Structure 1
Amino acid sequence: MATENLHRLVAARWQNSFTRLNQGQPGITGLLAFSEAWTLATDFLHPCDLADLESRKRFDMNKVRSSTEILSKSKMLPLLLENFLEDMRKNQHLITRDVEAFMARYEETADPQYISQLVFRLCEWYSAWCPIPELGQTILHAYMLNFQTHVFSVLPPSFSNGFKDLVSRTFDISRSSTPPPWLNVPSVFQTPDNPSRADYALWAAFEQLGLLERYESLISSVCYEYIESHILETCTGKWDEQMLKPLRDWMTDNIVPWMLMPYARGAKSANEARSMLQGVGSRFDFHVCKTLSDLRTREIFDIIVDYPDSVPALQDLKECLQRVDQRAQLVQTLRKANRKRLLHPGADTKDILTQYVSIIRCLRIVDPPGVLLFKVADPIRKYLRERSDTIRCIVASLVGDGESGDSLVDENEPIQPLQQMQVEDYTDPSWEPEPIDAGPDFRTNKPSDVISTLVSIYDSKDLFVKELQVLLAQRLLAITDGNFERERRNIEILKIRFGEAALQVCEVMLRDMTDSKRIDQHVQSQQDLPLQATIISRHFWPPLQAGNFVMPGQFKEIQDEYAKEFNAFKPDKKLRWLPHLGTITLDVVLKDRTINACVPPLDAAFLELFSTKDRWTVDELIAAVGSVDRTAALKALSTWVDIGILKEEEDNQYRLLEVAEAESDIVHKPPPTRPVPAAEEVPTALTVQQQQAEQMRVFWKFIEGMLTNLGALSLDRIQTMLKIAPNYNRTIEQLAAFMEAARREGLVTVKDGMWKLNRQ
């Protein structure tokens, strides 16, 4: 039974197949026609060898199309496709042969022309084996997929490098309407579709082989590298003009036309092309901003040094950072550069402050809210706090002290009071939240002017006021022509910044100088004396440099006469001379010469002693004038030795040369004049640090008494007990530094945080 049913089923299917293939023709006429059509179609589709085109048969395309139509009606196209693909697989070695040949030439020469020849050769294979359109899109798609799969499987790894080189050549080729000699374009690609583009055929071949889709990222990387090389070549070190707009114009003129081939070849209108290029154009513009941002980030330290000439580069960087999120990289790079090139012992404090001020101004351009400045400035501020002369440099810049830092103060900035931190007003309609990358310690209302920012390095402005008093004292005492208008103007400016109360002492100092001039004029009117004294109030001036020697001889007599006239004019006042300050102009009359010199008082005092006898030892001279440092004494004596008035002999003896020695050539030279020591070289007033050190020596007596009576004490306990001492206002950090200095001197010891006197 089963055998009969099977026979019946096979017979039915055979009849259906016969009917379908015979096409309802009488007898087997249709079957014969199908057989001829199959034979013709398979012969036509059989892959040929391009190296042996003469053996290829000539076909009548009308018959081929008729055969295709017969096979389609018979529903035999899938079988024809399978047969065709099998024939392809058997002949793929022909393609592999050409690929290996061209790639061998490229690997030998690294010349991308062989890659272009290979691409065009593969296109010839593709066109030679491609089915006719009448077979339908299914067969065409299957053919393309199988062809590309085989090609990509046999391409060696070196093809990627060659293809990249070839694509990079298209930037130059695209600007010409004539292909270069090495680009041998086959006749099949020489079409008038786009005669103005010499690279049209090359991109058409890339598209036909599927290379555009497969190597899309590689093509993009070529454009990225082209953009990077142009930016590095044209923008490196060029900070005096904005480069972002010219770069975008260059992109419009050079990159966008090139982009039409790989990214908008199928566009039928300008609007369609613009729509197709919008996405990739945005990526390339992003890369322009990123590359320029990376370049300016690497150059940021030098850009800041070159401020304000580098403002255009900073404006470019600001715009790039709005497009590219590389703010953290900028902060990291600048902080690293500051550590390496700025924050080290070899850098002068004034240079650090100058660079810090430039950083403030530059980063305000790049990031107005101040987040970048806050992150970059923190290490600089901590380092400046550790330097002892930071306050002095800042104060010198406030009063325009010569070369001490005028560049820190921008003359265009309005003079305004020091800004203090304020609590944010959330009810303000213009209030804005802090930037997303701001840290927990950031405050948007930090001082905006440079001076307030510099003063805010320290917790209190009292240190600056004291340093202002010291610096003003030195400047006032250095004035010899009696013109105090500049200092009066400086005080008025400082009143605006620090307030009138803080500058009252400075007002008294300035008034002292005016009164001193008037008193000196009165004394001179009573008795013509070769002495002009500057008279100041001891209680309102900073402590001046100590000096206890006594002027001898005629200098002492002149001082006494001046003091007598002063006491007559001011009976309730008493003069206390500071003989180590000031200068003396002398005419030294010797037997054979007269020498004019302008010297410090100690130099004059020593020479006056030689008027009593011709030979003195250093110890005798020091004993004759009083308490004088031996180093200072030797320096004073060397002045006269250099001029040729004294001669140093054995046993630290000095002899007066009434007659110049014959072997000396000093007689034939004009006598040198020693200049008045500058205020920076010989400070007249004690600095704030020196004053603090002197005061801490006073407090040492309190500390010594505590440790003697109470034994070992912690630093906190010492600080608490010192607060009851008069005028003690030191922080625990300052106390710790002082105790550490005392330990190094062997006065105290410390163990487990407990300090005690060293009994040894």
Structure 2
Amino acid sequence: MSTVTDPANSEVYKATVREKWDHALHRMNGDQPGISGLMSFTEAWTLAQKFLWPRDIRHVSDKLFFDQAVLKDAFQLIAKSRMLWILVECFVQDLRKQFHIVIEEVEGFMREYEATTNVEVIKNMIIRLAEWWKAWAPVQELGSLLLTTFNTEFQTHLFSALSPSFPGAFKRLCESTVGSEQDPQLWMAFDVIGLLDRYENLVASVCYEQIDNRTHETCAGVWNEQMLPGLRGWMADQIVPWMILPYARAAKTQEEAKNMLSGIGTRFDYHVCKSLCDLRTSEIFDIIVDYPDSSPALMDLKECLLRVDMRGELVSTLRRLNCKRLLHPGADTKDIITQYVSMIRCLRIIDPPGVLLHKVADPVRRYLRERPDTIRSIVASLVGEGGDFIDENEPPQPLQMQVEDYSDPNWEPDPIDAGAEFRTNKPSDIISTLVSIYDSKDLFVKELQILLAQRLLAITDGKFEKERRNIEILKVRFGEAPLQVCEVMLRDMTDSRRTDQHVQAHRPTILHPTIISKHFWPALQASKMKMPGQFKEIMEEYSKEFAAFKQDKKLRFLSQLGTVDLSIELSDRTIDVTVPPLEAAIIELFSDNEWTIGVFDKDKWSVDELSKELNVDATAVRKALETWIDRGVLSETESNVFKLLEEANGEATSQSRPVASRHAVIEEQTPIVSSVQLQEAEQMRVYWKFIEGMLTNLGVLPLDRIQTMLKFAPNYTRTIEQLGVFMEAARREGLVTVNNGMWKLNK
């Protein structure tokens, strides 16, 4: 049998309780006899509670005055008695009971603001809240515990009572202080009630928005001067003085304020660069168009990119703008190349290593490679017909295909954001960059020969110095060997003048042909046109004299080329004109001179008759007839039947057409020399059966797959660019269609 002892009745338990009670009583009573110390503690507690009580400052009668020395002694006694935490808890409870007074005033202010949107209401509310804080806050001499606890409780209750519209109102109030005389009392109020800490990002956003607005107002579209120094100057004059109160209000000296502002100042300078970089990035396409006048804007952008990592945004923006505004069928090839050249120069200013250019240029280069007239436009710039591509101050230099040279003592590794193929095809000068669009320079050499042939054949005064100089420059770029054919052509032109002078010396004639070597000139436009009457007689006489002079050579006239100076004598007028040979041949058939009387004894000719007699397509004949109709020399009596108008009358006037129509006809005439694309297309027709068989059996194929399979065809050596030109020609003829780079037969 066992018994259970009640702990409350045990001697040990009683002794423990008695010991704790005596210790607490001794702590509050101190060393004083009896309960005199306990009574002193009670007086101190009562005084402290009365002092800390959150009184209503709206009533002056509630304002009490305390002896600071007595008050300090009271708090020291409470702290010595280890009862300060209890006092703090009581103070917090009293604060919660009284805070409804503050909330009532806050709600009144916010209702007034929402009704008027006047920021002065918010300013008055914040100053009033600072008064409540000052009236309720314990003095610092009472210790940090009380003040810290009070701040936490005061701000917690205050922020929970603020309406959702307060942050916006507070931001507007901060914005109203920028550029005006600062109110230290207001910023002190911000600080004491905790607004600066709670809305730190919002205060900073005021500066950010001021910077953004200033950037767009002063810098948008202004590219002919550097704007970054001016923005930084504006920051120093307008924003930095404003920043002192929110960010360096505790500074006592100018040097101390400068040190305190260094961190936040760096943030705002970063935002200045970011804002200007955003603006220039959005304007980059037009800045490139305006180059070189926009060089200062490029220097700003370069400096901003050193501070702000926005290279990726610049690349993506420029690629997107290129696709939208440049790389489309409506843009002229020369304009695309001009913009590409400007892009090269601009991006080299921004990023000398060329990483940005490498990333941006790829879509432009691929698009230019697919255009059939790209090579011709580039070549035209090389011979003086497109000077916008070449810097006149840049001396000609050989084409460069730069590769890595790790033995170079000045070698530097690729930039960190460079792609895997960054060093591939990175020429230094503009022409090398343009030529590197294609895998081989042979296409450019062929086009050079064609363009030079056209220019030489167009020269009538015998002055070839400009072309000779062009050839010397091109030798520097392409080398001696590829330009040998061009030298032969130039020599042919000189020899042609000497040959003509010899013929004229032995048998004077009005015919002055340009005599060229068949095997060294590009293919000329073929024609089987037969010149009638006096033209035929003159050419035959010239051929006989040429054969006597150069017995080992035979002269074959290309009757469709050149020009003829005519003097047409009619009954009432004489017309002097310079026309192509076809127009001259047509009007010859209508004449009644000694060469045509009895041979072409007709006063009317139909289009079909003229076509048969001259061995020329009827469409070309019809276009040539338009010239004489416009000049009132011929008249169309009935459909496709024409007669000569010896006298100018009303009929001639009614048949005459505006000169513009004649110009339109002339502009449609085919060039003297076949282009590289036409020559390549003619040669590629041999392989059409192979391509047709592929697309018949396999359906839809990309261009690179067609190129791979064609390599199995006999003697196929064409590049994918040449194949692309041929497929584009086939598409225009309706043989194939293309969709997203996939080719198929057009059924």
Partner in structure 2 of residue 189 of structure 1? none
Q: What CA distance in whole angstroms lies between the structure 2 residues aligned with 1:19 and 1:721?
A: 114
The correspondence for 2:321, drawn from 325, 334, 337, is: 337
Q: What CA distance in whole angstroms lies between the structure 2 residues aligned with 1:128 and 1:740?
A: 87
RMSD: 3.3
The correspondence for 1:84, drawn from 78, 91, 101, is: 91
The correspondence for 2:158, drawn from 151, 173, 177, is: 151
Partner in structure 2 of residue 484 of structure 1? 464
Q: What CA distance in whole angstroms lies between the structure 2 residues aligned with 1:747 and 1:246?
A: 62
Check 1:675–1:598 CA distance in 2 against 1; reply closer, same or farther (3 A cut).
farther
Mapping of 1:61-72 within 5 angstroms?
61-72=68-79
- In the TM superposition, what whole-angstrom CA distance separates every residue of 1:328-372 from its partner, at most 9, and x where no partner exists? 111111111011111111110000000010111111111111111
- In the TM superposition, what whole-angstrom CA distance separates every residue of 1:373-406 from its partner, at most 9, and x where no partner exists? 11111111111111110000000010012xxx22
Partner in structure 2 of residue 694 of structure 1? 682
Partner in structure 2 of residue 167 of structure 1? 174
Is 2:714 the counterpart of 1:722? yes
Q: Tell me by how many angstroms 1:84 deviates.
A: 2.0
Q: Tell me by how many angstroms 1:219 deviates.
A: 1.2
Partner in structure 2 of residue 635 of structure 1? 623
Task: Give the share of equivalent positions with the same residue, in percent.
Answer: 61
3-state SS in 1 of match to 2:635: strand
State whether residues 415 and 497 of structure 1, in contact with CA within 8 Å, keep that contact through their aligned partners in structure 2.
yes
Q: What CA distance in whole angstroms lies between the structure 1 residues aligned with 2:41 and 2:504?
A: 141
Higher mean alpha-carbon deviation, 413-422 vs 694-703, is at 694-703
Higher mean alpha-carbon deviation, 728-737 vs 160-169, is at 728-737
Code of the residue aligned with 2:396 in structure 1: it is: I
3-state SS in 2 of match to 1:291: helix
Is 2:526 the counterpart of 1:546? yes
Code of the residue aligned with 1:390 in structure 2: it is: T
Partner in structure 2 of residue 469 of structure 1? 449
Is 2:390 the counterpart of 1:409? yes
Q: Tell me by how many angstroms 1:248 deviates.
A: 1.8
Is 2:229 the counterpart of 1:245? yes
TM-score (structure 2 length as normaliser): 0.89
Partner in structure 2 of residue 581 of structure 1? 561
Check 1:53–1:21 CA distance in 2 against 1; reply closer, same or farther (3 A cut).
same
Q: Tell me by how many angstroms 1:672 deviates.
A: 11
Q: What CA distance in whole angstroms lies between the structure 1 residues aligned with 2:42 and 2:151?
A: 27
Q: Tell me by how many angstroms 1:651 deviates.
A: 3.8
Higher mean alpha-carbon deviation, 492-501 vs 53-62, is at 53-62
Q: Tell me by how many angstroms 1:228 deviates.
A: 1.0
State whether residues 478 and 679 of structure 1, in contact with CA within 8 Å, keep that contact through their aligned partners in structure 2.
no
3-state SS in 2 of match to 1:50: coil
- In the TM superposition, what whole-angstrom CA distance separates every residue of 1:116-168 from its partner, at most 9, and x where no partner exists? 11111111111111223342221122112211121122122211111111111
Q: Tell me by how many angstroms 1:610 deviates.
A: 0.6
The correspondence for 2:134, drawn from 127, 131, 154, is: 127
Q: What CA distance in whole angstroms lies between the structure 2 residues aligned with 1:204 and 1:71?
A: 32
Structure 2 gaps, min length 5:
1-7, 592-600, 696-705, 738-742
Q: Tell me by how many angstroms 1:199 deviates.
A: 2.4
Check 1:702–1:112 CA distance in 2 against 1; reply closer, same or farther (3 A cut).
closer
Partner in structure 2 of residue 328 of structure 1? 312
Partner in structure 2 of residue 110 of structure 1? 117
Q: What CA distance in whole angstroms lies between the structure 1 residues aligned with 2:629 and 2:657?
A: 14
Code of the residue aligned with 1:620 in structure 2: it is: E
Q: Tell me by how many angstroms 1:527 deviates.
A: 2.4
Q: What CA distance in whole angstroms lies between the structure 2 residues aligned with 1:259 and 1:49?
A: 35
Is 2:608 the counterpart of 1:613? no
- In the TM superposition, what whole-angstrom CA distance separates every residue of 1:540-592 from its partner, at most 9, and x where no partner exists? 11011112111111111111222222222222221101111111111111111
Code of the residue aligned with 1:104 in structure 2: it is: R
State whether residues 47 and 129 of structure 1, in contact with CA within 8 Å, keep that contact through their aligned partners in structure 2.
yes
- In the TM superposition, what whole-angstrom CA distance separates every residue of 1:73-93 from its partner, at most 9, and x where no partner exists? 444433332222221111111
The correspondence for 1:623, drawn from 601, 612, 617, is: 612
State whether residues 630 and 657 of structure 2, in contact with CA within 8 Å, keep that contact through their aligned partners in structure 1.
no
Q: Tell me by how many angstroms 1:671 deviates.
A: 11
Partner in structure 2 of residue 533 of structure 1? 513
3-state SS in 2 of match to 1:295: helix
Q: What CA distance in whole angstroms lies between the structure 2 residues aligned with 1:740 and 1:55?
A: 96
Q: What CA distance in whole angstroms lies between the structure 2 residues aligned with 1:527 and 1:106?
A: 107
Partner in structure 2 of residue 365 of structure 1? 349
Code of the residue aligned with 2:99 in structure 1: it is: Q
- In the TM superposition, what whole-angstrom CA distance separates every residue of 1:149-201 from its partner, at most 9, and x where no partner exists? 2112212221111111111122123xx2xxxxxxxxxxxxxxxxxxxxx3211
Mapping of 1:700-711 within 5 angstroms?
none
Check 1:131–1:155 CA distance in 2 against 1; reply closer, same or farther (3 A cut).
same
Q: Tell me by how many angstroms 1:642 deviates.
A: 0.9
Partner in structure 2 of residue 94 of structure 1? 101
Check 1:292–1:671 CA distance in 2 against 1; reply closer, same or farther (3 A cut).
closer
- In the TM superposition, what whole-angstrom CA distance separates every residue of 1:35-66 from its partner, at most 9, and x where no partner exists? 33333332222111122222434444454344
Check 1:742–1:96 CA distance in 2 against 1; reply closer, same or farther (3 A cut).
closer
Q: What CA distance in whole angstroms lies between the structure 2 residues aligned with 1:659 and 1:678?
A: 26
State whether residues 563 and 579 of structure 2, in contact with CA within 8 Å, keep that contact through their aligned partners in structure 1.
yes
Partner in structure 2 of residue 206 of structure 1? 190
3-state SS in 1 of match to 2:576: strand
Code of the residue aligned with 2:472 in structure 1: it is: E
Check 1:421–1:722 CA distance in 2 against 1; reply closer, same or farther (3 A cut).
farther
State whether residues 629 and 657 of structure 2, in contact with CA within 8 Å, keep that contact through their aligned partners in structure 1.
no
The correspondence for 2:286, drawn from 266, 284, 302, is: 302
Higher mean alpha-carbon deviation, 299-308 vs 145-154, is at 145-154
Q: What CA distance in whole angstroms lies between the structure 2 residues aligned with 1:263 and 1:735?
A: 68
The correspondence for 1:655, drawn from 639, 643, 652, is: 643
Check 1:145–1:672 CA distance in 2 against 1; reply closer, same or farther (3 A cut).
closer
Mapping of 1:426-441 within 5 angstroms?
426-441=406-421
Higher mean alpha-carbon deviation, 697-706 vs 520-529, is at 697-706
Structure 1 gaps, min length 5:
177-197, 708-713, 750-754
Code of the residue aligned with 1:615 in structure 2: it is: K
State whether residues 301 and 334 of structure 1, in contact with CA within 8 Å, keep that contact through their aligned partners in structure 2.
yes
Q: Tell me by how many angstroms 1:282 deviates.
A: 1.6
State whether residues 425 and 436 of structure 2, in contact with CA within 8 Å, keep that contact through their aligned partners in structure 1.
no
Code of the residue aligned with 2:536 in structure 1: it is: K
Check 1:674–1:479 CA distance in 2 against 1; reply closer, same or farther (3 A cut).
farther
Partner in structure 1 of residue 44 of structure 2? 37
Partner in structure 2 of residue 596 of structure 1? 576
Code of the residue aligned with 1:579 in structure 2: it is: S
State whether residues 660 and 667 of structure 1, in contact with CA within 8 Å, keep that contact through their aligned partners in structure 2.
no
Q: What CA distance in whole angstroms lies between the structure 2 residues aligned with 1:373 and 1:111?
A: 52
Q: What CA distance in whole angstroms lies between the structure 1 residues aligned with 2:349 and 2:636?
A: 63
TM-score (structure 1 length as normaliser): 0.87
Partner in structure 1 of residue 544 of structure 2? 564
State whether residues 401 and 425 of structure 2, in contact with CA within 8 Å, keep that contact through their aligned partners in structure 1.
no
Q: Tell me by how many angstroms 1:24 deviates.
A: 4.0
State whether residues 544 and 684 of structure 1, in contact with CA within 8 Å, keep that contact through their aligned partners in structure 2.
yes
3-state SS in 2 of match to 1:597: strand
Q: What CA distance in whole angstroms lies between the structure 2 residues aligned with 1:525 and 1:557?
A: 19
Q: What CA distance in whole angstroms lies between the structure 1 residues aligned with 2:117 and 2:582?
A: 84
Partner in structure 2 of residue 269 of structure 1? 253
Q: What CA distance in whole angstroms lies between the structure 1 residues aligned with 2:305 and 2:658?
A: 65
State whether residues 615 and 656 of structure 1, in contact with CA within 8 Å, keep that contact through their aligned partners in structure 2.
yes
Q: Tell me by how many angstroms 1:270 deviates.
A: 3.2
State whether residues 130 and 189 of structure 2, in contact with CA within 8 Å, keep that contact through their aligned partners in structure 1.
yes
Partner in structure 1 of residue 242 of structure 2? 258
Q: What CA distance in whole angstroms lies between the structure 2 residues aligned with 1:281 and 1:406?
A: 48
Q: What CA distance in whole angstroms lies between the structure 1 residues aligned with 2:565 and 2:197?
A: 92
Higher mean alpha-carbon deviation, 513-522 vs 691-700, is at 691-700
Partner in structure 2 of residue 183 of structure 1? none
Instruction: Number of aligned residue pairs: give it.
Output: 715
Partner in structure 2 of residue 51 of structure 1? 58
Check 1:744–1:54 CA distance in 2 against 1; reply closer, same or farther (3 A cut).
closer
Code of the residue aligned with 1:472 in structure 2: it is: L
3-state SS in 2 of match to 1:595: strand
Code of the residue aligned with 1:659 in structure 2: it is: E
Check 1:47–1:698 CA distance in 2 against 1; reply closer, same or farther (3 A cut).
closer
Q: What CA distance in whole angstroms lies between the structure 1 residues aligned with 2:296 and 2:421?
A: 31
Is 2:515 the counterpart of 1:508? no
